[in-house]
Structure 1
Amino acid sequence: MSDSKQRYSDSSRSYIGNDVPGSMVDQGRYDRSKDRETRWNESWKRQPVDLNDIVSRFTPGAQGRRRGRQVRVRKRPVENRRGHGGGLSAHIRQKNEEKRQAQRSAWKQQRNPLQNSQEKGNVIMELVLVLSLEGLNYYGYIPETFQAKPGQTESFELTEGDEDLLDKDFIGPIDRLCNSLIDPGDVDYLNAEQCKLMLGWLEWRLTEPINPRLETIYRKLVEFANKAIELGTGIVFDL
């Protein structure tokens, strides 16, 4: 039987012991992970999760593999989406109440992800603009947009390459500026006030030399941020 929990633990120890001490980028990621632990630890204690159980339930037979600091578990077909074993991290611990997993799965499948989607194995990463917060439940301060009604959100899907670009150029500056916890493999939410801060940074960044794909993403974020500010809502970052 595949022991995903052990793989995750081994990967974490190796990352903390070998990667973090020699890299300011990895040190920043580690510091943000401790911030998340402080913010969510009491909830995690109330809702403990067995990673092996998650894998067996949602990606039976899949083998986890290390990718940098993460262990990712993928299994085709593509309808096994994020929340079904992609990015076994704090994101899963936050999201894994069984009822919510079922709701998220149904919602993702209703979106028919085979049409007009950018695939990351079997994982969708996306930016989600919330047009209305009415009727949405929250996990902490994060609105659960997978429960949104049609027309209540707009989304922009990202690729695996986009994750790497954002990790190098966007995440660190925005987390420091907005006091946010955006990070690869996790979910965070910027409210309207945080979007104002992000918008100023984006407008500056777009005046500098930039990767063409990043320019596309940033212009979409400018559009989303302006709408969120106008509507008094925000943007969910599901990376």
Structure 2
Amino acid sequence: MTTQITTLTFFKYRSLYAKFWAFGMMQFAHYTLRKIDGLSFYKLLGTGKEGFNPSPDWTVYALLQVWETEEKADDFFRHSSLMKKYRKYSSEHWTLFMRNRMARGKWDGNNPFAIHPALTEDIPYIAVITRATIKVKYLRRFWKSVPASQRPLKKNTGLIYTKGVGEVPYMQMATFSLWENQKALDDFAYRSKEHIKIIGDTRTIGWYKEELFSRFQPYRSLGSWNGINPLSFTTSELD
């Protein structure tokens, strides 16, 4: 039985020095992360500007991690010197703990997410991560279609937070979105004509070399974002 959990941490940087530090860590953090006990998969992610604009947002970076157990994750966030550095240089940070509900496709040739057996109906929130490597010949056409497909997000009151993230600007992109409940997600994914169109284009045109679609049940939310903790779980902060 899997005990795997996934964490996603966002970091915000304000000063020019902190932004340079964060950009450098996209390369230098690999040395430490590769040796973390219990960490089976990770991605250092840059982010895009608001509205899934592919232009980089130099103020926000993200760290996606898949853990063998929650205890391994807690040990990292409590004691890792790397995490202490990230907290030191960032002006704000927020970590979401999640159990996987479903994952289809591949990321770097494999699916890193295993369905968790301990999902509960008591938690209505849903987090979604989609990731794709876009074929070079379709880059211009793909990004031209994105603004229209994302417009319904602004009208969806059930959306808590969303951010475009990625490994390589323009080519290897992902999205993260956090929803109040399944209905809010379905209203966007399956009842928005703009989003339905881009799903159809994905099937008929074949934008991607590789893609992955995954859903999670968030169950812990630590830190703050824009001055508040986006979810209402009652948990204590990690020191």
TM norm. shorter chain > 0.5: no
Q: When you count strand as a share of all residues, which structure comes out higher?
A: 2
Higher RCO structure, 1 or 2 (CA under 8 Å, sep 6+): 2
* TM-score (ref. length: structure 2): 0.31
